[in-house]
Amino acid sequence: MHFIYKKLKYDFQSIESKWEAYWKKNKTFQVFNDSKKPKYYVLDMFPYPSGAGLHVGHPLGYIASDIVARYKRHCGYNVLHPQGFDSFGLPAEQYAIQTGQHPAKTTKQNIQRYKEQLNRLGFSFDWSREVQTSSPDYYQWTQWIFLLLFEHYYDLKENKAKPIESLIRQFNTNGNQTIHAVCDEDTPLFSNQQWQSFSWKKQQQILLKYRLTYLSDTDVNWCPDLGTVLANDEVIDGVSERGGYPVFRKKMSQWSMRITAYAKRLLEDLDLIDWPDPVKEMQRNWIGQSQGVKIEFQLLNHKESIKVYTTRPDTIFGATFMTLAPELDIVKQITTAEYKQTVETYIEQSSQKRILDRLVNAKKISGTFTGSYVLHPLTNEKLPIWISDYVLAEYGTGAVMGVPAGDQRDHAFATHFELPIVAIFEGIDSSKEAFTQKEGFTYKNSGLLNGLSFKEGYARIIKHLVSDGIGKQETNYKIKDAVFARQRYWGEPIPIYHKEGIPVPINPKYLPLILPSVEKYLPTPQGAPPLGNANQWAWDTEQNRVVENHMIDLKKVFPLELNTMPGWAGSSWYFNRYTDANNSKEFASQKALAYWKEVDLYIGGVEHATGHLLYSRFWQKFLADLGLVPFQEYAKKLINQGMILGSSAFVYRQKDSQIYVSKNLLDPNKTYHPIRVEVDLVSSSDALNIEKLKEWQPQFKEGRFILEGGKYIVGREVEKMSKSKFNVVNPDQICVEYGADTLRMYEMFLGPIDQAKPWNTAGISGVHNFLKRFIRLFSQDGNWIVTERPASSLELKVLHQTIKKVTNDIERYSFNTCVSSFMIACNKLIELDCHSKDILKPLTILLSPFAPHLAEEMWEKLGNQQSIAYEPYPIHSEAYLKELTKAYPISFNGKKRFTKTIELNLSKDEIERLILSDNRLEKYLNGKSIKKIIVVPNKIVNIVI
């Protein structure tokens, strides 16, 4: 069949701007909370509105979620598909420091630009529910949740958060000795009389040890270059995630969130949610549960004892020394006069080490003897006490028993300092290295464990230690309480004032506590956070409002907290706010929360696995404990979209010259400097536009370019897309050249949604051509030729198969194969010369989630008045497809799968029916007869003609 097609105009520019305006004007995607339809909540991780605007990688997740949202609308759901901005953050603040421009102003401009870009791509967001974390309407509720956390503690009996008043009541009646609650390690025990005798200040200090958000002297990650502390997940390889500056450990008075109280539930409830395994695994590792035993070692010549935590109590007979973390307070008490000097020097040195040094020098063994000894609890032997920074103060008890035979680090330490090594595994040589496996040995030199296997010995020793009162079984977690304060300006103010050194909450009635204006966004000369520059930053407890600093009298006017909340505060609960985003009375009404329930599909980057995705689960659990939200887990299903990488372009400059050599002419014996050049200056065949290059940067003006085949070919390298690498592809430009629909489909077509992949503009023409061909189904020579004639069975088959395939693929989030299916369908229908309305109508609905602008245009041209967005989704007839597959029934005997060759003599009619039954047979049409057919149950495998 030969058709000659004239060029058909696909005027995507006017189509797309027309429908963008239409959706906005008609509020097509606004949803309400009182629908009778079933609900579906599809959420994107909201963006930080950076000054650079969107690049081509950002919308990937939004396109996927928009396809699902539109698909679910067609399926008859009331779809909540909101968007907002995580608009507090460092870049706006740094810009403010440089230019003096208020972060609120730049943030507003950036948001404006982001919205324009997002709308251009045709996302069906309900903007009436937009949230901005930096808006007081929003952050008053972030502050409100902060205060709730402050006013609650974690009860281990009921396994939930409870009001602090209930704790105070118990203190008043019984003291704290019978209380089973999460608190700081150093909380003293007291009776009810003692509690009542305490001063207000003392009582408050004790309560801080229980509150779920609290102020304490903790070791923090201090980054002097950023002038702020960082959370653990913001420190990567010992340097700051942002900027890569060195980070130090430092003791500071800091706000923290008692996320450790929820460690167990955060771990266990991972089983309830359908999240990608890597994310779950990362959270599991981050929480880091381990089962072990805390064992008490009596100090020689001291009343006190030291507890160690170990997961291998069975190796206790191999313990030949004890090592403490240098930071522990007890170190100073036990150090003998003789060793005082060396110990103090060592402590000093290790505290000044950068985190990076500690990591890099991990294998470099250091430590020093304290002069003291502990007694082995089972053998009564004298074990020397050492300190070393391989022991971490914040894990376990900060003390380990040194078992060189069973632990590699202990072995290295013992070898380095010539401490004894006791072999405890029968038949295993412990002198060279430790044996860390948990099978394949029996014990020796191990008292009551001798001759037992690991399994027997492990159980035996625990039983013994516990019954003798020496040890206690314990579950330990790696996860640490999250530092919840930044020394920055552009964040939520913490609604706390300070009285006698005690933090006191502001009554939530008087929220929001509005961020004050300052003249300088830098820390004060005294080193206080930027809020220290504010003139109006004191709390009047009688008028309950912010007043000027000079009114502070420490009687009724007190200084306000100067720290602000970290970046993850606002994002830890925003998904709840969308259900009722304009509510000024509550963070969200119970009715709205009950209607929308949890997020059905959440799409965002995997980089938030141990940050936002963990903190938000924690807050959700806390809010659920208080009965404020109806679900323990807020997102049923999570998908991580992979990053779209840039393809950087390089020119090669010969060393010490102005000669640039084309990629394939490089001489392996010479040295070249690869220099990144702007990818816009390079054609899709990697040829460089030298004229434009010379205009772009003056350093190339004098360059001599050695060409191959008349062209300069650049080198390529796949890297993260970033402005500094000159490899950013701007979606606006793609929209101008190909249109938003093409961009949407192409991003989906690139590959599986969760995979990282390099951007390649060259391939986009394939998808663009598909859309042009799609229009061709409706027209010929520019004329509309949709017909009313009923569809043929072959056409119907194409349609039903496509519906089935596309629907299945959307349901399993395989969007790339969807796009392929559309192309196949389109090609087949063109070949069949199909212009039937019966086929094109459902096909247009099917395409609408992917290419919404074009679908709307075609839908209107088909004579429909309403937007296509709420058209019922076409249903494929399983019966019809089955009917077709059964067109030529083949039966078998036996259960086992087998291959069988059948000799056939089929008539033309039979062949046609056979062809209907199986796609692959189409090419055998036109009179050829089928001789043999190889079959397995329910499937034709091979045909011999």
Partner RNA sequence: GCUCGGGUGGUGGAAUUGGUAGACACGUUGGACUUAAAAUCCAAUGACUAUUGCAGUCGUGCGGGUUCAAGUCCCGCCCCGAGUACCA
Which residues from 69-88 bind RNA, rule CB under 7 A?
A: none
Q: One symbol per residue from 670 to 689: x for binding RNA (CB under 7 A), - otherwise; what is it?
A: --------------xx----
| H-only helix segments in 482-533 | none
User: Which residue of 100, 224, 244, 278 would you call a contact of RNA, by CB under 7 A?
Assistant: 278
To RNA, the closest distance from the beta carbon of 556 in angstroms equals 46
- Give dist(CA 816, CA 13) in Å, integer: 24
Task: Decide the pairing of beta strands 638-640 and 601-604.
Answer: parallel
Of the pair 47, 406, the CB lying nearest RNA is at 406
The pattern of x and - marking residues 849 through 888 that bind RNA according to CB under 7 A reads ----------------------------------------
Of 391 and 829, nearer to RNA (C-beta) is 391
Helix (H) or strand (E) holding 624: helix 612-625
Residues of this chain, 49-68, that bind RNA according to CB under 7 A:
none
CA pair distance 745, 821, nearest whole angstrom: 12
User: Minimum CB separation from RNA for residue 24, in Å?
Assistant: 31
Q: Coil, strand or helix: which one is 42?
A: strand
Token pair for 475: 């579950």
SS3 273: coil
Site for RNA in 456-485 (CB under 7 A): 476, 478
Q: How far apart are CA 708 and CA 685, in angstroms?
A: 13
How much is the CA Rg of the chain, to the nearest whole Å?
34
Residue 564 near residue 537, CB atoms below 8 Å = no
Among 606, 735, 740, 884, binds RNA (CB under 7 A): 606
User: Closest distance between RNA and the C-beta of residue 498, in Å?
Assistant: 32
Question: Among 2-10, 54-62, 121-129, 374-382, which window interacts with RNA (CB under 7 A)?
Answer: 2-10
Binding mask 630-669 for RNA (x = CB under 7 A): ----------------------------------------
Can residue 409 be called a binding residue for RNA (CB under 7 A)? yes
Give the sheet arrangement for strand 638-640, strand by strand. 78-80, 39-44, 601-604, 638-640
With DSSP H G I counted as helix, E B as strand and the rest as coil, what are the percentages for the chain, rounded to 5? 40, 20, 40
Determine if 376 is a binding residue for RNA (CB under 7 A). no
CA distance 849 to 398: 56
Near RNA in 197-216, by CB under 7 A: none
Between the CA of residue 245 and those of 119, 179, 884, what are the distances in Å? 37, 43, 66
* Closest distance of CB 715 from RNA, Å: 15
Residue with tokens 């399983």: 878
Q: Which residues contact residue 944 at a Cβ distance below 8 angstroms, ignoring those fewer than 6 apart?
A: 901, 930, 931, 932, 933, 934
Q: Which of 16, 389, 580, 625 binds RNA (CB under 7 A)?
A: 389
Which of 21, 52, 272, 362 touches RNA by CB under 7 A? 362
Binding residue for RNA, selected from 129, 312, 663, 853, defined by CB under 7 A: 312
d(CA 692, CA 703): 13
Asked if residues 874 and 896 have their Cβ atoms less than 8 Å apart, the reply is no
Q: Does 507 bind RNA (CB under 7 A)?
A: no
Which single residue is written with the structure tokens 């208080």? 626
- Binding RNA by CB under 7 A: which of 520, 773, 913, 931? 773
Stretch of residues binding RNA (CB under 7 A), selected from 121-129, 228-236, 376-384, 780-788: 228-236
Would you say 930 and 911 are in contact if contact means Cβ atoms under 8 Å apart?
Answer: yes
Q: Which stretch binds RNA (CB under 7 A): 97-105, 122-130, 587-595, 759-767?
A: 759-767
Closest to 433 in 3D by CA, of 448, 450, 421: 421
Among 400, 449, 677, 869, binds RNA (CB under 7 A): 400
Query: Interaction with RNA in 910-939: which residues (CB under 7 A)?
Result: 920-921, 936, 939
Q: Please choose, out of 188-196, 506-514, 554-562, 809-817, the segment that lies near RNA by the rule CB under 7 A.
A: 809-817
Of 817, 818, 804, the residue nearest 849 (C-alpha): 818
Using alpha carbons, list the distances in angstroms from residue 903 to 443, 921, 929. 71, 17, 11
Identify the residue among 817, 864, 877, 885 touching RNA (CB under 7 A).
817
**Residues touching RNA: how many (CB under 7 A)?**
90
Q: Which residue has the tokens 């679908």?
A: 855
DSSP 646: E
351 belongs to the binding site for RNA (CB under 7 A) = no
> Of 119 and 476, which CB lies nearer to RNA in the complex structure?
476
User: Is 156 an interacting residue with respect to RNA (CB under 7 A)?
Assistant: no
**221 forms part of the interface with RNA (CB under 7 A):** no
Q: Which is nearer to RNA, 758 or 849 (CB)?
A: 758
What is the smallest separation between the CB atom of 830 and RNA, expressed in angstroms?
A: 7
**Interaction of residue 824 with RNA, rule CB under 7 A:** yes
